[in-house]
Amino acid sequence: MSDLPHLTELYGSLNDDDLYMRFFIYHRVSEEEVKRILAQEDHVTLLAERDDKIVGEGSLFTNGEFSLVVRREHRRMGVGTKIVESLIEEAKARRIKMLIFYTLPNNYPMIAIGRKLGFTLKFDEDEVIGTKVLL
Ligand SMILES: CC(C)(COP(=O)(O)OP(=O)(O)OC[C@H]1O[C@@H](n2cnc3c(N)ncnc32)[C@H](O)[C@@H]1OP(=O)(O)O)[C@@H](O)C(=O)NCCC(=O)NCCS
């Protein structure tokens, strides 16, 4: 629970587009909601830290689905790539067989990360699905 203030602050810094990309919701995430999310045992959340500041997070669910977000001012510096690399390692350690992410077709950075890290990408009109089988 010590991550609660950090995550509440990080999620509070996001704009509506980021919130939708990360959570598929269009409203602010209250501290109560973050508390509820943290209490759910269906996922693990990894925090990315730089200079004592939480600059991003990635959450991996037991079914292999994951999502992440990086603070705006820390984007395009490789943090998102690092988070997904760490999620892949975490998934392997948990013996998860396949990773999957869902995003929108205009989410170029997420698509670039998926492509770079060897995900198979399926492009539909309104979503992109990335999958990666883990050995
Ligand atoms: C997606 C996200 C996590 C990427 O984080 P990031 O720290 O900027 O990612 P990286 O710095 O590792 O960049 C990843 C790649 O995207 C490219 N990229 C970044 N921003 C880009 C942009 N606006 N347009 C095109 N490419 C872009 C980078 O050049 C990099 O590619 P490269 O390694 O081939 O050079 C971040 O944009 C974010 O938090 N978005 C909102 C939430 C979200 O979409 N989450 C994903 C849900 S599945």
Name the helix (H) or strand (E) containing 103.
Answer: strand 98-103
Q: Which residue bears the tokens 């997904």?
A: 84
Residue 3 has pLDDT above 90, yes or no: no
For atom 44 of ligand 1, the residue with the nearest CA is: 21
Average pLDDT over residues 9-23: 91
CATH number of 11's domain? 3.40.630.30
Containing structural domain, residue 74: 4-133
Alpha helices in the chain (DSSP H): 4-12, 16-23, 31-39, 79-93, 108-116
CA of 101 to the centre of ligand 1 (A): 14
Q: Measured from the CB, is residue 48 less than 6 Å from ligand 1? A: no
Q: Which residue bears the tokens 């600059």?
A: 55
Residue 1 has pLDDT above 70, yes or no: no
Residue from 20, 59, 13 nearest 37 by CA = 59
Provide the number of structural domains found in the chain. Answer: 1
* Separation of alpha carbons 90 and 87, rounded Å: 5
Residue 91, judged by CB atoms within 10 A of its CB (0-12, 13-18, 19+), counts as buried
What mean pLDDT is reported for the chain? Answer: 93
Name the helix (H) or strand (E) containing 69.
Answer: strand 66-70
Question: In this predicted model, what pLDDT tens digit does every residue of 20-78 receive, in sequence order?
Answer: 999 887 778 888 888 888 888 899 999 999 988 999 999 999 999 999 999 999 999 99
- Spatial contact of 103 and 22, defined as CB atoms under 8 Å apart: no
Please state the pTM of the whole predicted model: 0.93
